[in-house]
Amino acid sequence: MLTIARWVMRGTPHAIGGAVVATLIPWLFWLGAAIAALVTLRRGLSPALPVIVAAAVPSGWWWVQGDVIPLASVLLVTLMAVVLRSRLRWSETLIAGALAGAVMIQLGIFLPPGGTGELLDQLRQASPEVGRLLNELGSQGLDTEQLAGLLIGGVTGLIVLIAAVGCLALARSWQAGLYNPGGFREEFHALRLRPAELAMLVALGVIGAVLGLPGLGMLLWVPLLVAGIALVHGFIGFKGMNGLWLVVFYLLLITTWPMILIVLLLAAIDVFADIRGRLASRN
């Protein structure tokens, strides 16, 4: 992958060509988004605009075809790259990305063009059990269309945010590999939320619940989760443990909800306890 980054950074035409080709190919939009993020991180927003547009135009075509994820991911990763370049803090970058993703959910960007009514009708026809469940929810006074829209928007927004974080991490690792070998590993292992940042996430979640803005609650836990993942990476790296531990960790993280809760709890504790700092001081 570093070979791709080296070729892209040979000049703007190379970056534009790589971004266009990548975002045109189905399910390869993440590569185009990572290319746009790499150029933004290295050169800044203004010099990177041609590359960002080159990635956004094919992604916009996919949006017209009904797939909103590529364009939303390109725009979100660009925003996060700008924040990371200016602030040099992953925690602030992740919070900015989560807030932007929540705004997208609230604006209904991720909803189907024709609304959720047609989708619910298709589900009723495809599965009688789902139809009975929807009828029961409706009889209890719940707006099934609104509930379906919230579910679709929340899941799609979560996918977009995770994709954007992954693309930004890939771009940052490329940048480190080309210009600062080992820098990304050190930077990611040190990722940790500050108490004020955690308090802000909690406050925004409460405000979202009070004001009826569910998008905030759906995505604001992601920065804490990424900080917890960074904590696990840092601990395993500090102890010199086998890389298979990371494989086991990610398998558990993907397949079990309790593991996600444990990682969130560890990240919250780390905000105040600075686990990696304590390990370093002991050694």
Q: Is the pLDDT higher at 152 or at 30?
A: 30
For 81, other C-beta atoms within 10 Å of its C-beta total: 31
> What number of H helices and E strands is found in the chain?
16, 0
Tens-place pLDDT, residues 43-75 = 999 999 999 999 999 999 999 988 999 999 999
pTM of the model: 0.91
pLDDT of 155 above 80: yes
* Cα 37 to Cα 51: distance, rounded to the nearest angstrom: 9
* Cα 264 to Cα 172: distance, rounded to the nearest angstrom: 24
The reported pLDDT for the residue numbered 116 is 63
pLDDT of 123 above 60: no
Tens-place pLDDT, residues 8-43 = 999 999 999 999 999 999 889 999 999 999 999 999
